[in-house]
Amino acid sequence: MSKVEGKVAVITGATGGIGFAVAKRLGKDGYTVVLNGIDDAAGAEKLAELTAEGITAEYYGFDMTDGDAVAANIAKIGEKFGKIDVLVNNTGGIGVRARFEDMTNEEYKFVMALNLDSVFYASRAAIPFLKKGENASIINYTSNAAWNGAGPGAGIYAVSKGGVQSITRALAKDLAEYGIRVNAVSPGTIDTPFHAQIKATKPEVFASWKSSVLLGRLGEPEEVAGVVAFLASADASFITAETIQIGGGQALGI
């Protein structure tokens, strides 16, 4: 893919793991990258790392589960740059591990807010600025859990990611008339801190994930970032409402 000039990408939850890999990749491709996070110290550290590599970057600290904060900050970003070309809704996570019968109302609401509400809040706020962008697009993150219901204790995570699958298609229909594309990626087991707890407490479970991957290994954050960069690029200009599996064949359930 060729270098881009003057394009702006907003990546939520970008102070670590896949989100930061995406920020770095898009930055190297020539985008001005705007990172979001809730850990301001980590944000400053990652911002310094990007700028040291010659990437133009900014950091905005706000909670993606707070609709008002998302609206205000996305508006600030859009108004500063006059547009947004790419929104990567990277924020998400298991949030809470609990069986359905044990999950509280607050825990349920938090998991849904983290994975689904955040996509709605950011997309809604970014649309006026995406309309001013070039080959503008939104890229969301779903999961194999959206199809297989996840494991015990992660059921609501699966529900929330099923919602992301649906909102991706709904947004694609809603925004097609403006030339704004909306797609999703579905990472398999990627070796990031996202899986640190399972890796540390249940290594046998973590090892079983590797054995379930057709290619025989776990994925790297940079491999997800490459697909996100493709979906954001002009090479994907006729792709919308799609979900790309990035799991080394894990979705086949071998």
Cα distance between residue 64 and residue 115, in whole Å: 9
* 108 given a catalytic annotation: no
Distances, alpha carbon 213 to alpha carbons 201, 216, 217, 243, in Å: 21, 5, 6, 19
Residues in the chain: 254
Are 154 and 196 within 8 A, CB to CB? no
| Catalytic member of 59, 121, 157, 178 | 157
- What amino acid positions are annotated as catalytic residues? 157
